[in-house]
Amino acid sequence: MRIDVITLFPELFSAHLVHGVTRRAFEPGRVDVHLWPLRDFGDPPHARVDDRPYGGGPGMVLLVEPLERALAAVRAARAETTPAPLVSFSPAGTLLRQATVARFAAGAGAILLCARYEGIDQRFVDAHVDCELSIGDYVLSGGELPALVLLDALARLQPGVLGDARSHQQDSFSAGLLDHPHYSRPERLADGTAVPEELLSGNHAAIDEWRRRQALRLTAERRPELLEAARAEGLLAPADEEFLASRRRRTL
Ligand code: 4HQ
């Protein structure tokens, strides 16, 4: 898959692409990331990419023409049969979810446009942007961190990137539930706090059941709307419903 990134700050991406387990996703033949410095497409004589907003007010707006030159260069370099979606980032976008990440991971790539300042001239958005994504209800100073969030989430879904293929089948959300808690050595801390005994039993069926119940409990407590969505998608087994019903009876 090929991902093109149009940004005023290509340096923000380099460190991420060479560190951590996701590094392997960005090796040749996997997720091929191409960085396009927007400044290279600015208006002469000073490579201007932004100007003041019509109507007044604070901040600057990214200009249509440099963006169109950058996009044309990317589209020419991709030489695509089916054009990759142009994605931009905004608090007004659709909230990024694991299901969206999985859809991108299954596709042929995307062009990520990272805005700065107050944002992008709306005429460019209307004419060219296929999808606006938000990573949450807070205000950032640029689209680079959201683009990195999407790249990271995409990278770890690439085959062979996580050592164990099971690790992302057990992720939060892949089962529609939050992840169960995890424990490692020592079995007992100096203050006496122990690992839940179910995990020490060596009985894999009992361990799976404990983990499933912890995931159900945590999701019910913290994110009831996720539990409702999992139920609507048929992801809850009769045994899950029995466990949840028994918890409800206990808390009454
Ligand atoms: N932005 N999720 C980029 C965000 C944002 C978000 C504000 C987008 C600033 C320039 N993007 N502009 N939250 O806060 O995606």
119 and 139 in contact (C-beta within 8 Å)? no
Token pair 């969030």: residue: 149
Tokens at 109, concatenated:
């790539």
The CA distance from 207 to 61, in Å, is: 55
Two structure tokens written together for 48: 């201007």
Residue 233 annotated to the active site: no
Given 171, 179, 198, 209, the catalytic residue: 171
34: which strand partners? 4
Beta bridge partners of 168: none
Ligand 1: which atom is nearest the Cα of residue 133?
Answer: 15
Report the interhelical angle of 238-251 vs 204-222 (nearest 10°).
60
Residue 50 designated active-site:
no
Sort strands 50-51 and 61-62 into parallel, antiparallel or unpaired: antiparallel
Residue 83 C-alpha to ligand 1 middle, in angstroms? 24
Predicted pLDDT of residue 85: 98
Which residues does a 6 A CB cutoff place in the pocket of ligand 1?
89-91, 115-116, 119, 134-136, 138-140, 142-143, 146
CA of 132 to the centre of ligand 1 (A): 10
End-to-end CA distance of the chain: 51
Q: What is the pTM of this model?
A: 0.95
Residue 105, classified by CB atoms within 10 Å of its CB into exposed (0-12), middle (13-18) or buried (19+), is: middle
Tell me, in angstroms, the distance from the centre of ligand 1 to residue 139's CA: 6
Per-residue model confidence as pLDDT tens for the chain (252 residues): 999 999 999 999 999 999 998 999 999 889 999 999 999 999 999 999 999 999 999 999 999 999 999 999 999 999 999 999 999 999 999 999 999 999 999 999 999 999 998 999 999 999 999 999 999 999 999 999 999 999 999 999 999 888 766 667 767 787 899 999 999 999 999 999 999 999 999 999 999 999 999 999 999 999 999 999 999 999 999 999 999 999 999 988
Question: 251: Cβ–Cβ under 8 A, 6 or more apart, which residues?
Answer: none
In the prediction, which pLDDT does 63 show?
Answer: 98
Which residues, 6+ apart, have CB-to-CB distance to 194 below 8 Å? 187, 188
Q: Catalytic site residue 156?
A: yes
Q: Does the active-site annotation cover 91?
A: yes
35 three-class SS:
strand
Nearest-atom number in ligand 1 for the CA of 118 is: 10
Q: Cα(3)–Cα(33) distance, rounded to whole angstroms? A: 5
Choosing from 116, 156, 211, 213, the catalytic residue is 156
Which residue is listed with tokens 């700065």? 116
Kindly report the protein residue whose alpha carbon is nearest to atom 7 of ligand 1.
Answer: 140
Position in ligand 1 atom list of the atom nearest CA 141: 9
